[in-house]
Structure 1
């Protein structure tokens, strides 16, 4: 059962995060940050980070261009974390049953927010013609209200009145374990889908060798340090069975260092790319007779 102050804080954060995403861009509007804040408010930081990270990977390669709308994974992370902690739902199940549907439904509130802000945009245009700077600032700030409500209002309604519905839904799913297993599997596939979308938009044809090297190093280092860690655990188990007066002591300091190895390789490749970039002379783009730039890569 959620407390009133938890609902209030989550609603206020939902109102702020979209404004931050559109103006300050401090990453406070990202799904992983939403999971962190929601988990902190709900008292289960691990669950919040798990849900937020899963949704962050899902939308890793998705962006908005112009007036396009995308699924609101941030609000999905807020609601999924809140209901996962309060109703005792498995985080992966919460991602599939709550976060993804909510993220898809809030596309409509995003569109409503975009439409409603045009009213203040026209008022700003009128104020510009009159050189009324106070009116420009006032209407610019008022335009943030529809954006904030586009997230805060549905999140508040879901948190305040959706608890019983979510509880009933979870009880129904638990009666059919195969449904819960299928939804959990779907949630585990979402991060892979996010990476696939990201790879689709990256210039892989020119950098395929880097992708291959990174994949190979990740696989090799994971296996290598996994075996080292297993060896350290086995040695520690053998030494632990010896008598205390045998004088043999062993401390298991073997850790999974695969990410450290990947970071070192990443730094090396970054330095290599920087050095190669310094060697390449900057070529000015060629202009056609019509004045258009033929080459978009400098």
Structure 2
């Protein structure tokens, strides 16, 4: 069990790093479940559980600086418990969401703590001390590894009760603060996206999507369908307008030649 707990802790850390750096899809529940099953010697069961959890976490996505529930950690621990206990997808469905939310709180804490190394890196960059600048980046990775391991390792080695007891030791005021900061992050994320895009004529589309999701009760798929239809209509009229301008230009050239 010790070797499995260590291997799964390392796997969880690598997959979480992939989620934040590149996001090629390896950290999605389907792949996470498969890799967890591979470590525990039951890949087929891992794929089945991962596919089941993929349906639950399909709509989760980090927008800007927003920190969503940690689907990678939730899937990995839920899949591991399902395989180790032999209870299948039923126990995985029960554990996935609570563990993902708990891991989300620790993720916010880890990201907040890492701002210390960001300021250190800025100072090293100003002084031209690039070796120390690299160490500051690696220190951030170390914090991330500890953040993941502190929930994955005891969960696998000691059981889910250990994780629940650990979360219970965190003061309510700290959890409340993390909850409030986590609730503010989506707004900050959208603000950062609007700032980076800096295309004023696209701003109404953001608010249309927000209104459809918040007041219209549209799901993510519903908003996406509306957005695709609007994009197709706009593309059609732009092409029609260009064709019309091209015809007018050709007619004007013909008249000038005559």
Tell me the TM-score range normalised by the shorter chain.
0.5 to 0.7
Cα contact 2:118–2:136 (8 A) shared by 1: yes
Corresponding pairs, count: 186
1:105–1:118 CA distance, 2 compared to 1 (3 A)? same
Q: 1:127 maps to what in 2?
A: 124
Q: Secondary structure at the match of 1:202?
A: helix
Q: 1:169 maps to what in 2?
A: none
Q: Is 1:58 aligned to 2:56, yes or no?
A: yes
TM-score w.r.t. structure 2 length?
0.63
Cα contact 1:55–1:77 (8 A) shared by 2: yes
Indicate the RMSD between aligned Cα atoms, in angstroms: 3.0
Matches within 5 A, 1:138-157: 138-157=135-154
Cα contact 1:60–1:198 (8 A) shared by 2: no
* 1:186-221 Cα shifts (integer Å, max 9, x gaps): xxxxxxxxxx8431441426539x9xxxxxxxxxxx
Q: 2:10 maps to what in 1?
A: 12
- Per-residue deviation, 1:60: 2.1
- Per-residue deviation, 1:277: 11
Q: 1:73 maps to what in 2?
A: 71
* 1:66-102 Cα shifts (integer Å, max 9, x gaps): 32211111111111111111111131x1232211111
Higher Cα radius of gyration: 1
| Bigger fraction of residues in helix | 2
- Per-residue deviation, 1:134: 1.6
Q: 1:82 maps to what in 2?
A: 80
* 1:103-158 Cα shifts (integer Å, max 9, x gaps): 11111111111111111101011112112222222211221111222222101011
1:39–1:204 CA distance, 2 compared to 1 (3 A)? same
